[in-house]
Amino acid sequence: MASLPAPPLGSSSSPFASPLTAVLCIFLSLLLLLPRPVLSQCKNVPVIFNFGDSNSDTGGLVAGLGFPVNPPNGRSFFGSSTGRLSDGRLVIDFLCQSVNASFLSPYMESLGSTFRNGANFAVVGSSTLPKFKPFALNVQVMQFLRFKARSLQLAAAGFGNMISDEEFRNALYMIDIGQNDLADSFSKNLSYVQVIKRIPSVTMEIKNAVKAMYDQGGRKFWVHNTGPLGCLPQKLSIVRRSPNDLDPVGCLSSYNAAARVFNEALRRLCVEMSSEMKDATIVHVDIYSIKYDLIANSTKYGFSSPLMACCGYGGPPYNYNIKVPCGQTGSQACIKGSEFVSWDGIHYTEAANTIIASKIRSMAYSTPHTPFDFFCRG
């Protein structure tokens, strides 16, 4: 994979390289800006089950369909592609590390995991609608039901090292989905009003998923809302819009407005479910505010060109071409992903994910304010 050329030493005009002293200053400033996460106090073995889309897919697309995710994906941490759409770790990876849990293995990965610490059902491109489409949210839930039934069956037959029924009850159930429902609706040329009208159907599927896991004994839920869809370089490069549809940061106002409507509906849903399921803890996390702040105040965090992809094709302002995605012949990767918010025009860099995860763990964006490790403290 070719890298974009670096500017002459000492030049600060290019977002793809910067002097060492500037990088050090930014790094030190960033440390001061990051919220202090709460240290894990887990007493029990952390068991996590995750449901979602590419924002939390740790290799499900590759395991399930054999679809290749080519380098330079994975270059910053793993040294090779692991199926994650990022240069390194995702937010969910950092959250697992914060409770001293292993990275979650994709449910459909047949080799290399005992699934002792849970499983990841998230797959790239997943949505809640239409139902029964691989790998829609309700399909992921059915996969979980199969996983649980089979685990308990094998445990009863004498197989060791299986997740117990008690551990299933005490596990954390994470949901991070909805972005593709909104994006797919806009891609079908639906009007803003038509997109908004579909949101109740999306949140109903999320409620059904939580209820299904609750009926199986799950009592601890962690629900992420969706990020600022209109700030993705992919959307900015392919969506026809008028200048009036760009906000002061340069994001698509209509797309972000739809995301906020969805997020408010999801927040209300979490409150409603908490009232109905009184013995459950349902935490709603405002990912939108975290990510929008990262983009709107990018320089504060040490990032340049927050609306430009590190890996892609086409150069400024977005470096995204739908025909030449990251990892395909012709695409180029920036020298330092640590200076970019967006990795490939849709997903975030490990550097951005580091900050997002830290802010999640600060509890400042959670309702109710709950430490991430609450599920394994008892």
**Arithmetic mean of pLDDT, 224-231:** 98
What number is the average pLDDT over the span 29-37? 46
Mean pLDDT to the nearest integer, 35-52:
81
Is 207 a residue whose pLDDT tops 80? yes
Count of Cβ atoms closer than 10 Å to residue 213 Cβ: 24
9 φ/ψ angles, rounded to the nearest 5 degrees:
-55, 130
Least confident stretch, 4-8, 270-274, 279-283: 4-8
For residue 362, what is the domain's CATH number? 3.40.50
Residue 334 resides in a domain:
no
Task: Please compute the mean of the pLDDT values over residues 38-55 and round it to a whole number.
Answer: 90
Whether the predicted pLDDT of 291 surpasses 50: yes
Q: Given a cut of 80, is residue 39 above it in pLDDT?
A: no
Predicted pLDDT at 242: 85
| 6 has pLDDT over 90 | no
Task: Report if residue 6 sits inside a domain.
Answer: no
Lowest mean pLDDT among 23-27, 36-40, 240-244: 23-27
Q: What is the pLDDT of residue 199?
A: 98
- The length of the chain in residues reads 378
Contacts for 201 with CB less than 8 Å, ≥ 6 apart: 128, 129
Q: What is the pLDDT of residues 67-82, one digit of tens each?
A: 999 999 999 999 999 9
Looking at residue 58, its pLDDT comes to 98
Residues 7 and 22 sit within 8 Å (Cβ to Cβ):
no
User: Is 347 labeled as catalytic in the residue annotation?
Assistant: yes
pLDDT surpassing 50 at residue 34: no
Is the model's pLDDT at 36 over the cut of 80? no
Give residue 284's domain range: 43-302+350-376
147-159: pLDDT as tens digits: 999 999 999 999 9
Q: How far is CA 235 from CA 151, 256, 321, 344, in A?
A: 41, 11, 10, 12
Of 38-52, 126-140, 172-186, give the lowest mean pLDDT range. 38-52
The catalytically annotated residue of 14, 18, 54, 254 is: 54
Is 369 designated active site?
Answer: no
| Catalytic pick among 76, 286, 347, 373 | 347
In the annotation, is 344 catalytic?
A: yes
Percent residues over pLDDT 90 in the chain: 86
Q: Give the residue-averaged pLDDT of 321-334.
A: 97
Please report whether residue 24 resides in a domain: no
Please report whether residue 356 resides in a domain. yes
Mean pLDDT value across residues 126-141: 97
371 pLDDT band (50/70/90 cuts)? very high
**Does residue 15 belong to any structural domain of this protein?**
no
- 40 confidence band (pLDDT: 50, 70, 90): confident
Average pLDDT over residues 267-272: 98
In the chain, how many domains are there? 1
In-domain check, residue 254: yes
Q: Is 36 exposed, middle or buried (0-12, 13-18, 19+ CB in 10 A)?
A: exposed
Residue 1 counted as domain residue: no
Q: What is the pLDDT of residue 299?
A: 97
| pLDDT, mean over the chain | 91
Catalytic residue from among 344, 358, 366, 373: 344
**Cis link prior to 243 (omega < 30° from 0)?**
no
Residue 32 predicted with pLDDT over 60: no
Q: Is residue 362 domain-resident?
A: yes
* pLDDT for 3: 40
Residue corresponding to tokens 């399930």: 64
Please give the pLDDT value at position 241: 86
Q: What is the pLDDT of residue 60?
A: 97
pLDDT band for position 243 (50/70/90)? Answer: confident
Q: Examine the pLDDT at 316 and tell me if it is beyond 50.
A: yes
Over residues 317-322, the mean pLDDT reads: 97
Residue 17 has pLDDT above 90, yes or no: no
Query: Which tokens belong to 153?
Result: 């069956």
Residue 63 contacts residue 106 (beta carbons within 8 Å): yes
CB atoms within 10 A of CB 272: 13
